[in-house]
Structure 1
Amino acid sequence: MTVNQKTQIVIVGGGAGGLELAKRLGARYGRKSHDIILVDRNRTHIWKPLLHEVAAGSLDANLDEVGYPSHGFRWGYRFFYGALENIDRETRTITLAPLIDEDGSELIGRHEIRYDYLVIAIGSRANDFGTPGVRQHCIFLDDRQAADRFRNRLLNHCLRVSLAMSRDADAPDAYVRIGIVGGGATGVELSAELYNAASALQNYGLDVFDEKRLKVTLIEAGPRILPALPEQLAAAAEAELEKLGVRVLTNARVTEVSPDAIHTSGERIPCDLMVWAAGVQAADILDQIGGLETTRSRQLVVRPTLQTSRDDRIFALGDCCYCRLPGSEQPVPPRAQSAHQMAATVGRNLDRLMGGKPLVSYVYQDHGSLVSLSRFTTVGSLMGNLVGGRMAVEGRLARFVYLSLYRMHLLAIHGWLKGTALIVVGHVNRIVRPRLKLH
């Protein structure tokens, strides 16, 4: 570095882990000796586990999203709006792709940002496994824009059905048919949330529409849904979904998706809306970017210190990294709790690296998994490796812990004062705000 040049730490990706790290570093170092830069292709952050509620209309993302520029001003980091295109490890620069306006004109040209230390935290996206038609006809709930698009299309179909029923209550096409591929947390939570939203539409102008007009099919290639949970809890969740009206298909491998149907190895399932929530992989751009080591799913291979395997100055955290800890046969799972814990380790190791101290290894603490079936119930397991096993929980206790995870995220990115205020405001909004977002 030249004289008086600040140490520049660049974080690419403002998801749960990236935003927490930017806030942590900005609060620790401020702007005097360090320049903390957060880069993201969106202007706002919303906690990814909430996207199924945004898609169903149960959550108004405008109330819960975090604007990066104002958050950065509050916590001492700078925000750059853009998408990663390349990494030059020799010059220690990243290249951001040109920023294109809606009309196709170039707002900001391709440009570079230098770094002394780089953290990649761009998350993951759904994996279509090369299945024909998926990219063209399915919605992936990977970001706020996709969730908004699904909600708008859902409301349009609900309006269509409501008008059809007003003319003929027994109309054979008076149903909204939704196919969801993937029996993990996202698919299960969205299935339940759709019925919660549909039950409220009568209060918002669709007088003859109710949840009975939904035909939701949840398709899972494996032998059961929710493979991360104990079998008895997965069975309880499946029973609850079927009670709501969801048709659950297991051992059903999707072979093709056409404009109006999902095709499995044994059935054609007609659909008005189709969501793909099966499997995750890192973004295409990460495939051997900057000569870094990546897996077949394009995840960056990291050491236990969360440094990439080929460059000590580049860290990776969250879903976009492949971290297999010593003594473990499987990599750290792609969960919000993993990203939260990794952000803390990367922050600590950056401090130690700049101070010439030995780095610490990341230790994954499995606090269990929770799946919310909207207001109907919550199931999950708690305390993972804290007690050498799992404690199954259901009902109100599980729901309380599930909601607490988001509250912990709010406290992590906003601090105790504002975080607590936002939690209180959230409770008030549940009482005074409309149940559904219809615009």
Structure 2
Amino acid sequence: MGEERSTASQPARIVVVGGGVAGLEIASALGKRRDDGLIASVTLIDSDSAHVWKPMLHTIAAGTRDLAQQQTTYLAQAADAGFAYQPGEMCALDRVAKEVLLAPITAPDGREVVPGRRIAYDKLVLAIGSGANDFGTDGVLEHCFMIDTRRKADAFNQEIRLRMVRSMTQGEGLQVAIVGGGATGVELAAELVQLAESARAYGAIGEAARFGIVLVEAGPRLLPSFTEDISAATKRRLEALGVTVLVNERVQQATADGLVLGDGRTVNAGLRVWAAGVKAPEFLSTLGLQTTRGHQLVVNDHLRTDDPDIYAVGDCASFTLPGQIQPLPPTAQVAHQQARYLIDTLPQVLRDPQAGSSERFAYRDMGALVSLANYDAYGSLGKFGLFNGGTIRGRLAMLSHLWLYRSHQARLYGFWRGGFLWLVDMMNSRLRPSIRLD
């Protein structure tokens, strides 16, 4: 597997592919530890130029949060945290030479800006994340927006603002259909309600009936990973806000005019968003490592793949807890805990491979939260300590949801800088428009 360099006497080159929740936290934390003599360099590879906390992408898509304020540019973070940033998209892996292969970077007109490159590693962490899963549904890729990346969320926001201008000047109605009743679809629906209310306050659109939102879920209830009482309460709240909720309705086709349901009925919608299911990038199944049918890399309880120098975390990894049948879900909570594990144990492995590999990853279910914009929020508590799977709602759940994001910022920037960012956001929320109007 190539010459072994990752020993205490030979500092290791650590490469992290993917700058999401897990990847950026790992690169930032390990980059600050390069002076311990174990780490020669930390390199972060990502095809984008900036990071946005993935559970916030629906607010960027709706325009209820400003993208410029909420994103972390990789170059700036690299300078602050002591790692190197390499722009590019991983396309292959040379496990013999221990090199990550990056595809050429091209301009929109097809010009090659940067040729393909090879990045050498001693320890590789794959944190590539996941994308929306269209399940092979006809017309989805051609006619639906997806909001699983910063760029895609911003593209949807640009389009919906154009449609709102048309609605304001031409008197046309605006109907948005969202497919997928999980957290992303539910939260996006609520944010779009808030967008519509704020737009009416600014005079951008007229009567409420001219901005319609339809949420379509194939299963029997919304938020299937939450308790039934939270699912029912969420449905009632969305319907009270004017959202049309359709459950037990599978979409068989997406068209330029709307969605065709399983029984042939059509949901007319000028804008369509696909937020049903996730899958890992397909190229992961070409690396010669064990993967699932959904292209996730199978990892053991040290988060290693079947190559001992390659780790996988977050949405692109599949790990099943002992005694369980289903692998851990692709959530920010799982990604963070896996990142924390590698931040703590990878230096130990570099110092002493045998001693460092003794500690196993243990997942603690902290529950789950869903936020309905400024209207409401619900949370299920984890089953540990004094908690036993109870539920919370209202302001407490809203604050808990906000705290998750602020904790992520503190891990990236440190306590004081993260706190100042929170203060700046609070000030901007009072001084700037409540929605993106530029």
Q: How far apart are the structure 2 equivalents of 1:373 and 1:384?
A: 24
> Any gaps of 5 or more consecutive residues in structure 1?
166-173
> What CA deviation, in whole Å up to 9, does each residue of 1:414-433 have, x standing for no partner?
11121111111111111111
Deviation at 1:202, TM superposition (A): 3.1
> What CA deviation, in whole Å up to 9, does each residue of 1:351-371 have, x standing for no partner?
121112242211111111111
Deviation at 1:387, TM superposition (A): 4.5
What is the aligned partner in structure 2 of residue 226 from structure 1? 223
> What CA deviation, in whole Å up to 9, does each residue of 1:36-65 have, x standing for no partner?
000001111110111111111101010111
What is the aligned partner in structure 2 of residue 368 from structure 1? 367
Matched, 1:422 2:421: yes
Q: Secondary structure at the match of 2:85?
A: strand
Match of 2:236 among 230, 236, 239: 239
What is the aligned partner in structure 2 of residue 395 from structure 1? 394
Deviation at 1:328, TM superposition (A): 1.5
Q: How far apart are the structure 2 equivalents of 1:307 and 1:341?
A: 15
What is the aligned partner in structure 1 of residue 125 from structure 2? 119
What is the aligned partner in structure 1 of residue 25 from structure 2? 20
What is the aligned partner in structure 2 of residue 8 from structure 1? 13
Q: How far apart are the structure 1 equivalents of 2:147 and 2:206?
A: 25
Q: How far apart are the structure 2 equivalents of 1:12 and 1:91?
A: 17
Q: How far apart are the structure 1 equivalents of 2:123 and 2:283?
A: 19
Q: How far apart are the structure 2 equivalents of 1:149 and 1:81?
A: 20
Q: Secondary structure at the match of 2:43?
A: strand
What is the aligned partner in structure 1 of residue 330 from structure 2? 334
Q: How far apart are the structure 1 equivalents of 2:34 and 2:14?
A: 11
Q: Is the 8 A contact 2:258 2:266 kept in 1?
A: yes
Q: How far apart are the structure 2 equivalents of 1:109 and 1:386?
A: 53
> What CA deviation, in whole Å up to 9, does each residue of 1:148-192 have, x standing for no partner?
111121112222222233xxxxxxxx3211110000000000001
Q: Secondary structure at the match of 2:33?
A: helix
Matched, 1:272 2:270: yes
- Count of residue correspondences: 428
What is the aligned partner in structure 2 of residue 61 from structure 1? 67
Deviation at 1:203, TM superposition (A): 4.1
Matched, 1:199 2:205: no
Deviation at 1:386, TM superposition (A): 4.2
Superposed counterparts of 1:307-326, under 5 Å? 307-308=304-305, 310-326=306-322
C-alpha RMSD of the superposition: 1.7
Q: Secondary structure at the match of 2:309?
A: strand
Change (3 A) 1:116 1:434: same
Superposed counterparts of 1:32-431, under 5 Å? 33-165=39-171, 174-206=172-204, 208-266=205-263, 267-289=265-287, 291-308=288-305, 310-356=306-352, 357-359=355-357, 360-387=359-386, 389-431=388-430
Q: Is the 8 A contact 1:198 1:210 kept in 2?
A: no
Deviates more, 1:20-29 or 1:185-194: 20-29
> Any gaps of 5 or more consecutive residues in structure 2?
none
Q: How far apart are the structure 1 equivalents of 2:384 and 2:18?
A: 29
Q: Secondary structure at the match of 2:134?
A: coil
Q: How far apart are the structure 2 equivalents of 1:149 and 1:129?
A: 22
Change (3 A) 1:352 1:47: same
Change (3 A) 1:242 1:93: same
Q: How far apart are the structure 2 equivalents of 1:250 and 1:433?
A: 37
What is the aligned partner in structure 2 of residue 171 from structure 1? none
> What CA deviation, in whole Å up to 9, does each residue of 1:277-315 have, x standing for no partner?
0011001221232x111110000000011001x101000
Q: Secondary structure at the match of 1:199?
A: helix
Q: Is the 8 A contact 1:218 1:248 kept in 2?
A: yes
Change (3 A) 1:11 1:63: same
Deviation at 1:404, TM superposition (A): 0.5
Q: How far apart are the structure 1 equivalents of 2:324 and 2:385?
A: 16
Deviation at 1:388, TM superposition (A): 6.3
Change (3 A) 1:386 1:297: farther
> What CA deviation, in whole Å up to 9, does each residue of 1:195-214 have, x standing for no partner?
101111134452x5254322
Deviation at 1:103, TM superposition (A): 2.0
